[in-house]
Chain A
């Protein structure tokens, strides 16, 4: 009997140990594999564990029992005290003081207990956090992206030197969130690209707003020195939506576009800043204008920057192109594995890449040999420019 009892108390410990090990293995698998099918198979193995899959909070249960016991004792002391009140006739003030002290004691007891419960029942890794991580990896896999290692602050500073799009908000708070590398194979051009998320803070007086941008970076050898951004009216509308009608130096300044397209609808949506208006007239052919306008209508506050070094940065304020809300977690392994196996990638990223391919198609020379964009990208990686 005593042996059985001992076995029962060890069971939750063993379960938690086993679960921690399995989660660690799954994280390693997610980091190493590029196939969502393999990842889904790894998740299905969690079906062997009791459902819903989670840590057993045995310490928490013990604390709860202890707390309940103490509360009972305190309540019975209070009850016996009140029963004596009528016999021994305490003064009103004394009754109030004792009552107050009793309630204070219970309050402090509850507070201390909840703190201790939290402290001692902290699980090594939360199931939800691991599910988020696995889902993030599967999203990268589904879009054929490989995560890159980087330092969030210095990387953002490095990118700010190259691109205007990374010079937003307060300089101290700029961070790169995700940075992953991918490849797009089009009918006429194939190219490597970097997917990124970028966080920064807009500070207006005492009010700090956390901002988020996401997009892609790539080599674009057919154009340089153009910056496309939302028109003045759209920028102002976005500013009002974010900060209200506060007027300060952050209010978007009215700047005239240096080149205007022949399309009324394009000019209403997008402002083109070009160093050379002749080059702009040559590059922005009707097909390119249409492709950019279509892309802009799909994204929120899109910026498109063609640098003087033939780099292209497309960014927008959409809440993470990869960040779709997951429906299931590891608590329900089978459903979660099906969700991951069915992920076929984010259509928005595919649309952006297709739009970039269209820009390349209509700006290259059909009689020249196509430039090797992948090799150019590789060279930049080797020289540390990227």
Chain B
């Protein structure tokens, strides 16, 4: 009889542990989705600076057309990304469009030194630079959350609970392909 009580107690304990682990997995998943939504929200804040950029583009006559094309391409990349669905490929497309647009804008600004020194250009550049910093930090938080989530479903006994319950799969962290290629090095598992 006593053995039965002990077994029942152990089973109850295991059940509580299982529920707790399962809830932890769900909580971490929600945090991944939230961090992703933040990344997209900050990416979409670029939309607020784009009208000002378009206005500025008119000042850079020689570069106006290429700047406007880059801005349009960024707008469509921003539109494609969803806040609810984690898709790092969409993010890569936005980042690539931003890099291209900023490179074009910098070339245009360099060609017109007087405009470069204007308050509006400097404020705009500072705003974009801070926005990019915020996006980089948001991506770093997103990747940090993914790391916690992935570890939370791959380590034992969480992997067992996940297999029996939530059935979550690992998320792919965001990698900046351009930055990685410029390093000429990528970590490889031996």
Binding site for B on A (CB under 8 A): 262-266, 285-287, 289-290, 361-362, 366-367
Please indicate the chain B residues that have their CB under 8 angstroms from the CB of A264 in the complex: 28, 31, 144-145, 148
Chain B: interface secondary structure? helix
CA distance A362 to B138 in the complex (A): 13
Please tell me if the beta carbons of A287 and B127 are within 8 angstroms of each other in the complex.
Answer: no
Chain A: interface secondary structure? helix
Question: With contacts defined as CB atoms under 8 Å apart, how many contacts are there between chain A and chain B in the complex?
Answer: 52
Please tell me if the beta carbons of B145 and A262 are within 8 angstroms of each other in the complex.
Answer: yes
Residue in B34, B123, B134, B148 whose CB lies within 8 Å of A287: B134
Query: Can you name 22 A-B residue pairings with CB atoms under 8 Å?
Result: A262-B38, A262-B138, A263-B35, A263-B141, A263-B144, A264-B144, A264-B148, A265-B144, A266-B141, A285-B42, A285-B134, A285-B137, A286-B134, A286-B136, A286-B137, A286-B140, A286-B141, A289-B141, A290-B137, A361-B130, A366-B126, A366-B127
Please tell me if the beta carbons of A287 and B137 are within 8 angstroms of each other in the complex.
Answer: yes
Please indicate the chain A residues that have their CB under 8 angstroms from the CB of B28 in the complex: 264
Binding site for A on B (CB under 8 A): 28, 31, 34-35, 37-38, 42, 123, 126-127, 130, 133-138, 140-141, 144-145, 148
Please indicate the chain A residues that have their CB under 8 angstroms from the CB of B34 in the complex: 262
Q: A263-B144, A264-B31, A289-B137 are in contact. List 7 more A-B contacts (CB 8 A).
A: A262-B37, A264-B145, A285-B134, A285-B137, A286-B134, A286-B138, A290-B141
CA distance A30 to B127 in the complex (A): 46
Closest B residue to A266 by CB, please name it. B141
Please tell me if the beta carbons of B148 and A367 are within 8 angstroms of each other in the complex.
Answer: no
Please indicate the chain B residues that have their CB under 8 angstroms from the CB of A263 in the complex: 31, 35, 141, 144-145
Please indicate the chain A residues that have their CB under 8 angstroms from the CB of B133 in the complex: 287, 362
Assuming the contacts A262-B38, A286-B137, A290-B140, asked whether A366 and B123 have C-beta atoms less than 8 A apart, the reply is yes
A231 to chain B: closest CB distance in Å?
15
Please tell me if the beta carbons of A287 and B38 are within 8 angstroms of each other in the complex.
Answer: no
